[in-house]
């Protein structure tokens, strides 16, 4: 790429559609000389947009969005992404001519949820044409998660997929009810359409190199790639034959009775292939979720597509955020004039999550 504009430097070299970014940017720059503050609902050239920017962010000049409450810093790059990603309605499916990456993220309320979700959300901000399916293991939507989703401006749906009472035991594991809910939503909204897409399970606590999404975008059936930091081997990866470039087995600390010994973060599935596999499902069975899911898709080993340079690169890591000591809230009342300080509202914000 010869000339890089501020709007496209976050797209890695392999991604080949920077043109859209440029167009999206132009639309805003060419809008009226004194454009109105970004409202809740508006339209650009007849395309309805819903913006969830806080009301104090306004377009100051034709090429600068400034946060008036701050130091009038230009948010050029952010504006470009906002423009690109704001042509969606929250909680509604997204349709376009390109391949959409559908990220299924199960989540649940815990002290590390906000740092984890913030980091993931801000990673996804760097990826074009994604749709984020966030499913909480809860009966009520978390306000903090809802606010985060609105802020990040990533097209999303916010769902609830609580664990059924019959599967609260350790052997059932977390995340299955959430993912099953996401399957349901995908089938209900994309079944019978020809939207091009790829499904990926993006847990909220892993670490992702944005190049991973470029790699998986052309998944025809099921693609696979290495995952770093998996228990005793520090790794989980398909084994690829150098000569043929085909996947011939799996290298993973836990093989067990698994045909596909892969981590949840180690593969992506073509959306239409998933939709056509009517029996595709995931079991409540710790350690076997990936294997059963791939078996239920009826994919053959020879059909698997190795990514990340024939599985020689690690672009995703199975990281875990370790919570600190449980805070002792009796400590807070020792502060002099507690009620006249920032502490009550800060604690209230912390407790909310
Ligand atoms: C993967 O390996 C095959 C077989 O050797 C080769 O043809 C292909 O170019 C390799 N792909 C990459 C991206 O290195």
Residue 333: predicted pLDDT: 66
Same domain for 281 and 145: yes
Enter the pTM of the model.
0.74
pLDDT of residue 316: 97
Examine the residue annotation and report whether 17 is marked as an active-site residue of this protein.
Answer: no
Q: What is the pLDDT of residue 130?
A: 96
* pLDDT tens per residue across span 256-281: 888 999 999 999 999 999 999 999 99
| C-alpha 275 – ligand 1 centre gap (Å) | 29
In-domain check, residue 113: yes
Ligand 1 atom closest to residue 244's alpha carbon, by position in its atom list: 4
* Residue located nearest, by CA, to atom 7 of ligand 1: 245
Give pairs for 246-250: CB < 8 Å, separation 24+: 246/302, 246/304, 246/306, 247/301, 247/304, 247/306, 247/311, 248/301
Tell me how many degrees the CA angle 267-18-266 measures, rounded to the nearest 5. Answer: 10
Pair 162, 194 in one domain: yes
- Which of 223, 225, 245, 247 has most ligand 1 atoms within 8 Å of CB, for mutation? 245
244 inside domain? yes
Q: Whose CA is nearest to atom 8 of ligand 1?
A: 245
Same domain, 274 and 139: yes
pLDDT given at position 77: 47
Residue 122: its pLDDT value, please?
Answer: 95
Q: What is the pLDDT of residue 76?
A: 53
Q: Same domain for 277 and 347? A: no
Q: Is residue 300 part of a domain?
A: yes
102 in a structural domain: yes
Does residue 222 belong to any structural domain of this protein? yes
| Residue 114 within a domain | yes
**Does the C-beta of 310 come closer than 6 Å to ligand 1?**
yes
309 Cβ below 6 A of ligand 1: yes
Ligand 1: atom nearest CA of 310 is 1
Statement to judge: residues 336 and 288 lie in one domain: no
* Ligand 1, atom nearest to 312 Cα: 14
Instruction: Note the pLDDT tens digit of each residue in 222-262.
Output: 999 999 998 888 899 999 999 999 999 999 888 888 899 99
155 and 249, same domain (yes or no) = yes
- Counting as low any pLDDT under 70, the low residues of the chain are 1-86, 327, 329, 331-333, 351-353
Q: Does 25 fall in a domain?
A: no
Q: How far apart (Å, rounded) are the C-alpha atoms in residues 220 and 13?
A: 21
Residue 83 pLDDT: 54
126 and 269, same domain (yes or no): yes
Range of the domain at 172: 81-317
Q: Please count the other Cβ atoms lying within 10 Å of the Cβ belonging to residue 90.
A: 15
For the domain that residue 283 is a member of, what is the CATH number? 3.90.550.10
CB atoms < 10 A from the CB of 200, how many? Answer: 23
* Residue to mutate, 225, 242, 310, ligand 1, most ligand atoms under 8 Å from C-beta: 310
Residue 42 lies in a domain: no
Distance from C-alpha of 333 to C-alpha of 32, rounded to nearest angstrom: 54
Q: Which is the catalytic residue, given 136, 289, 290, 305? A: 290
Co-location of 122 and 264 in the same domain: yes
**277 shares its domain with 296:** yes
Going by CA atoms, what residue is nearest to atom 12 of ligand 1?
A: 309
- HEC readout, the chain: CCCCCCCCCCCCCCCCCCHHHHHHHHHHHCCCCCCCCCCCEEEECCEEEECCCCCCEEEEECCEEEECCCCCCECHHHHHHHHHHCCCCCCCCCCCCCCEEEEEEEECCCCCHHHHHHHHHHHHCCCCCEEEEEEECCCCCCHHHHHHHHHHCCCEEEEECCCCHHHCCCCCCCCHHHHHHHHHHHHHHHCCCCCCEEEEECCCCCEECCHHHHHHCCCCCEEECCEECCHHHCEEEEEECCCCCCEEEEECCCCCCCCCCCCHHHEEEEHHHHHHCCCCCCCCCCCCHHHHHHHHCCCCHHHCEECHHHHCCCCEECCCCCCCCCCCHHHHHHCCCHHHCCHHHHHHHHHHC
248 shares a domain with 138:
yes
User: Into how many domains does the chain fold?
Assistant: 2
Helix 76-85 with 19-29: angle, nearest 10 deg: 100
Span from the CA of 100 to the centroid of ligand 1 (angstroms): 25
Residues 235 and 311 in one domain: yes
332 and 313 inside one domain:
no
- pLDDT value for 173: 80
Shortest-distance Cα residue to atom 2 of ligand 1: 245
């Amino acid at each position: 790429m010869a000339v890089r504009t501020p709007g496209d430097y976050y797209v890695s070299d392999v991604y080949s559609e920077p043109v859209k970014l440029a167009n999206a940017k132009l639309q805003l720059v060419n809008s009226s000389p004194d454009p109105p503050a970004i409202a809740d609902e508006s339209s650009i050239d007849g395309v309805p947009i819903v913006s969830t920017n806080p009301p104090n962010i306004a377009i100051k000049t034709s090429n600068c969005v400034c946060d008036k409450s701050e130091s009038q810093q230009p948010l050029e790059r952010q504006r470009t992404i906002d423009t690109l990603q704001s042509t969606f309605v929250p909680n509604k499916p997204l349709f376009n001519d390109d391949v959409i990456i559908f990220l299924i993220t199960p989540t649940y309320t815990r002290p590390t949820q906000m740092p984890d979700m913030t980091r993931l959300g801000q990673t996804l901000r760097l990826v074009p044409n994604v749709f984020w399916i966030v499913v909480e293991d809860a009966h009520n939507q978390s306000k903090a998660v809802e606010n985060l989703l609105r802020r990040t401006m990533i097209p999303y749906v916010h769902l609830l997929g609580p664990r059924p009472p019959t599967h609260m035991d350790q052997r059932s594991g977390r995340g299955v009810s959430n993912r099953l809910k996401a399957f349901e939503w995908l089938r209900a909204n994309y079944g019978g359409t020809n939207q091009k897409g790829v499904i990926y399970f993006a847990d909220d606590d892993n670490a992702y190199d944005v190049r991973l999404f470029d790699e998986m975008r052309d998944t025809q059936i099921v693609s696979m790639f290495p995952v770093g930091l998996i228990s005793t081997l520090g790794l989980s990866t398909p084994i690829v034959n150098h000569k043929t470039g085909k996947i011939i087995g799996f290298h993973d600390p836990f093989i067990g009775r698994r045909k596909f010994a892969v981590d949840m973060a180690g593969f992506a599935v073509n959306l239409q292939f998933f939709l056509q596999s009517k029996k595709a499902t995931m079991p409540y069975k710790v350690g076997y979720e990936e294997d059963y899911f791939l078996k239920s898709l009826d994919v053959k080993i020879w059909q698997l597509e190795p990514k990340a340079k024939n599985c020689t690169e690690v672009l995703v890591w199975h990281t875990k955020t370790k919570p600190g000591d449980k805070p002792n809230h009796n400590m807070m009342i020792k502060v002099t004039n507690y009620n006249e300080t920032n502490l009550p509202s800060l604690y209230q914000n912390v407790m909310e999550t």
